[in-house]
Amino acid sequence: MLQGSCLCGEVKFEISGYVSPVQNCHAARCRKATGGAFTPEMLAHGTGFRWTQGSDRICVYTAPLLKSPPAYARAFCKTCGSPLPVELEGTPYMILNSGILDIAPGELPLKHATSNAKACWHEIMDEIAPSKPPVEPDKELVSAR
Ligand SMILES: [Zn+2]
């Protein structure tokens, strides 16, 4: 069982089912959404995901569609602004930033995603592959970016 919460602690959730490996996404929208060089993100199957506190404190922003669905949506806490899990439209998955978990995932990220769009002020120094073979449901994760 994984648990997560926002910075102020008003919003909490737990995940009892499938979670994907983490990927570090360098896409411009992910950098904007987090303010960081990349977003460490993962998927959780919706059937194993549950808000345990503060679901009324969640705000969702959906960005204008760039290419094709699913839309790029971000959820955050109305009080502290922490990024929160959000439904990945048209899929059975929630997408979340791994830094919102209360306990670290325990594995190194699987890969870098969209590294061709990385910030010019950031250099990828680790040995995590930019293009390891995708694992299901990685296709949905990548297509959301
Ligand atoms: Zn909060």
Alpha carbons 20 and 139: distance in angstroms, whole number:
11
User: Residue 121: what pLDDT?
Assistant: 85
What distance in Å separates the CA atoms of residue 140 and residue 145, rounded to the nearest whole number? 9
| Residue at token pair 């949506």 | 73
For 39-88, how does the pLDDT look when each residue is reduced to its tens digit (9 = 90+)? 999 999 999 999 999 999 999 999 988 887 778 899 999 999 999 999 99
More reliable by pLDDT, 53 or 26? 53
What's the CA-to-centroid distance between 51 and ligand 1, angstroms?
Answer: 13
CA of 53 to the centre of ligand 1 (A): 11
d(CA 63, CA 79): 21
- Residue ranges of the domains in the chain? 2-128
CATH class of 2-128: mainly beta
- pLDDT tens column, 99-133: 999 987 777 777 788 888 888 888 888 777 675 44
Give the span between the Cα atoms of 43 and 97, in whole angstroms: 9
Residue 113 to residue 141: CA distance in whole angstroms: 10
**Centre of ligand 1 from the C-alpha of residue 54, in Å:** 9
57 Cα–ligand 1 center, Å:
8
Which has the minimum average pLDDT: 7-16, 23-32, 44-53? 23-32
Q: What is the pLDDT at residue 51? A: 98
Q: What residues have their beta carbon closer than 5 A to ion ligand 1? A: 6, 8, 10, 77, 79-80
Q: State how far Cα 120 lies from the chain centre.
A: 22
End-to-end CA distance of the chain: 27
